Amino acid sequence: MTTALTARAILLDMDGTIVNSDAVVERVWRTWATEHGLDADKVLKVVHGRQGHATMAALLPDRPMEQNHAENRVLLAQETAATDGVVPVAGAPAFMAAVAGLPHALVTSADLALATARMNAAGLPMPEVRVTAECVGASKPDPEGFLKGAAELGFTPEDCVAFEDSEAGITAARAAGMRVIGVGPRALAMAPDLHVPDLTHLAVTAHADGTIGLSVTA
Of 15, 22, 111, 159, the active-site residue reads 15
Residue type, 108: T
Burial of 83 (0-12, 13-18, 19+ CB in 10 A): middle
58 φ, ψ (degrees, to nearest 5): -70, -35
User: What is the β-pairing status of strands 212-216 and 202-206?
Assistant: antiparallel
| Residue 214 to residues 20, 95, 170, 178, 201, Cα–Cα distance (Å) | 21, 11, 17, 14, 10
Annotated catalytic residue, options 13, 22, 159, 165 = 13
User: Does residue 142 have an active-site annotation?
Assistant: no
Helix (H, G, I), strand (E, B) or coil at 20: strand
Helix H or strand E encompassing 105: strand 104-107
Clarify whether 165 is annotated catalytic. no
Positions marked catalytic: 13, 15
